[in-house]
Homo-oligomer: A and B are copies of this chain.
Amino acid sequence: MQIQNVAILGGGLIGASWAALFLSRGLSVAIADPRAEAEGFCRQLIAEAWPHLAALATIPETPNWDALQFSQSIAEACQGAELVQDCGPDRIEVKRTMLAEAETTLQPEAIFASSTSSLMASDIQAGARHPERVLVAHPMNPPHLVPLVELVAGDHTDPNVIAAARQFYDAMNRVTVIAQKERPGHIANRLTSALYREAVNIVAEGIATVQDVDKAIAYGPGMRWALMGPHLIYHLGGGPGGYRHYLDHLGPTQAERWKDLGTPALTPELIETMVSQLDASLAEVDDAALKSSRDAALVALAKLKQDLPV
């Protein structure tokens, strides 16, 4: 099935960012959100995202606003949609209610893809009229700039739906990966949580400050992680013997370090320490300027990765 009409449930940051991406690829988008202010918010975000999207692909000069509809009704937005991108609250009872309302108007073969970062497709699809159409399609924030989309099937998801979803997101210039099992954090957020746990532990143990932990990443290994993942990094670090040589010779040093990593508790005292260290480092920085600088840098980085595929 050709996907030309997408319904987006929830017009917050993630929903608006998806909308910008889909519009830039020529799709029609209907956004459902009960809040009256969602429309203005989405239109502004789409307008701001447009030059960034234009830097990364050949797209129309301006968004085709006629292809963008808003509704306070999920059922109405889903009418005629071939794919639903759910960006609603991450609470299972809310998701099921939204899915049930969507199914009152959705054609049987339409796909229901949830952006959820914490729920399982199996739980969302339980009780659905067409559970086979439900999957998780989890982006990183903001979805229009960070290419990754993680696809996860539930117990009752049709494998053809996973294949069709992959084809769809690939056509949206996304990079898709498929998780073989439903687990908390899918793939990427397991990795971010693992890094974050030690980033917190280093502060908790007084090894370094919040600011130095962040600098250590952004001017150190983070620069390599923007280009390749750790398996490939260690393969290249292994010399002519590659990954096997690395694992045989340096695997034990990793295992040694693993033993020393921490399992901190996010106590009120630790939270206070981290917040005050962070705030001190940002005393002269404007969050809005930081965010727009980050977005510009993400665009430049995404462009760099297109030009120099590594």
Contacts and interface: CB of A to CB of B under 8 A. Distances in A.
Given A293-B310, A296-B308, A257 B205 contact: no
A94 interface: no
Interface in A176-229: 177-181, 183-185, 187-199, 201-203, 205-208, 210-229
A290 interface: yes
A248 interface: yes
A39 to B, nearest CB: 20
B218 A178 contact: no
Question: What range describes how many residues of A lie at the interface?
Answer: 35 or more
Interface stretch (A24-32, A43-51, A123-131, A234-242): A234-242
A275 interface: yes
B213 A148 contact: no
Contacts of A210: 231
Main secondary structure of the interface of A (DSSP, over half): helix
Contacts of A172: none
Nearest to A138: B220
A282 B234 CA distance: 14
Given A187-B202, A228-B214, A308-B293, A258 B221 contact: no
A225 B191 CA distance: 12
A301 interface: yes
14 contacts: A147-B219, A177-B208, A183-B260, A188-B216, A188-B217, A190-B260, A191-B199, A193-B257, A194-B198, A196-B234, A197-B254, A223-B226, A247-B266, A290-B310
Given A191-B213, A297-B310, 12 more contacts: A175-B219, A190-B207, A190-B261, A203-B231, A213-B229, A214-B231, A214-B232, A221-B225, A227-B297, A231-B274, A243-B275, A293-B308
